[in-house]
Amino acid sequence: MALKLISVSARYPIDEAHIVLTKVSITVRDSGCLAVVGPSGSGKSTLGRIMNGLHRPSEGTVELDNLDIHSMPSIAEARRRVGLLMQQPDNQLFGMTVGEDIRFGPSQAGIDLDTCVSRMERAMLQVGLDIDSFAARSPFSLSGGERRRVALAGLLAMQPRHLVLDEPVAGLDPAGRAKIEAVIAETGRHIGVVLLTADLPLALRLADHVILLDAGHVEYDGAPAGAVADRALLSRLRLLAPVEADVLDALRQRGAPLEPLEDMRPATVLETIAAAVLAPDSRKVATKGRSH
Ligand code: ADP
Ligand code: MG
């Protein structure tokens, strides 16, 4: 019961010689958050469109529950099961009102009106959009963060098995980011979420598994802490480590007896740094990561 990319390569007709993804294999589990982190142009958005069947890989297969999605009778069914929040969410908003927009997907899937309305209300609740204030407004009268949440609610109303989010917090203010991050954390408890981003600190806050992507190649695939261990790799990928990871490194370089942490979530790292700074005898500092 998973979404699997098996040795997927991708190119676009306009430039057949340019291989955008090279033999990428990824398994997206049924819950949790997988972050695919890479600089601009590394192939994240292409990967997202492949995961939800919008783009067909030139080689390799995309499987949902062990079935090749491109051999299914209807690709629409696969696309319903793997929701994609596009990098430009305005591309997926077209209802006259927020409520209509969120109900649109389920109604197109032949779901009865009452169920569509209850799914819409639930989805609005999930993304923190007050029904009375927002349901009757035009999506285009909203802020960027609110529009993203409307698009996200439209996807959640489809009750997908997986959700792929392409740069979901880019360009948002801190409050807008925090709301979307909370939705991602909560959604990942129930379905498999894929976060596509160039923001490594964001990935470390949310993901339980990280893939680093560069020029269409997987450069790292493993636990979040390992994704910040190789600074030369991060520098080559033009990715910024979280500042607390830099502080941890600086302390270690100056002789603080800190072992590598297994858990790189900011709260854990900051706690470890505070303990190291405040400990009367720094050798007694507990440095083990918090276990999940
Ligand atoms: P990212 O999301 O990591 O920035 P993209 O998947 O958007 O990466 O792009 C990866 C590569 O594919 C880039 O070189 C980009 O120019 C190319 N590319 C993306 N979309 C298209 C398209 N529709 N047609 C042709 N080339 C594309
Ligand atoms: Mg992109």
Query: pLDDT tens-digit profile of 176-191?
Result: 899 999 999 999 999 9
Residue 289 half-sphere exposure toward CB, CA atoms < 13 A: 16
Give the H/E segment covering residue 210: strand 209-214
Query: Residues 102-154: pLDDT tens digits?
Result: 999 999 989 999 999 999 999 999 999 999 999 999 999 999 889 999 999 99
Distance, C-alpha 109 to centroid of its chain: 25
Cα(263) to ligand 1 centroid in Å equals 32
Residue closest via CA to ligand 1's atom 24 equals 12
pTM as predicted = 0.92
Q: Are 71 and 65 spatial neighbours (Cβ–Cβ below 8 Å)?
A: no
Give the H/E segment covering residue 233: helix 231-236
Share of the chain above pLDDT 70, in %: 95
Locus of tokens 């801190």: 174
What pLDDT was estimated at residue 286?
47
Relative to the CA of 47, which ligand 1 atom is closest?
6
How many Å apart are CA 159 and CA 153, to the nearest integer? 10
Q: Is the pLDDT of residue 289 over 80?
A: no
Domain boundaries, the chain: 3-95+154-238, 242-283
Q: Is the CB of 42 under 6 A from ligand 1?
A: yes
Q: Is the CB of 40 under 6 A from ligand 1?
A: yes
Cα(38) to ligand 1 centroid in Å equals 12
Q: Is the CB of 38 under 6 A from ligand 1?
A: yes
- What superfamily in CATH does domain 3-95+154-238 come from? P-loop containing nucleotide triphosphate hydrolases (3.40.50.300)
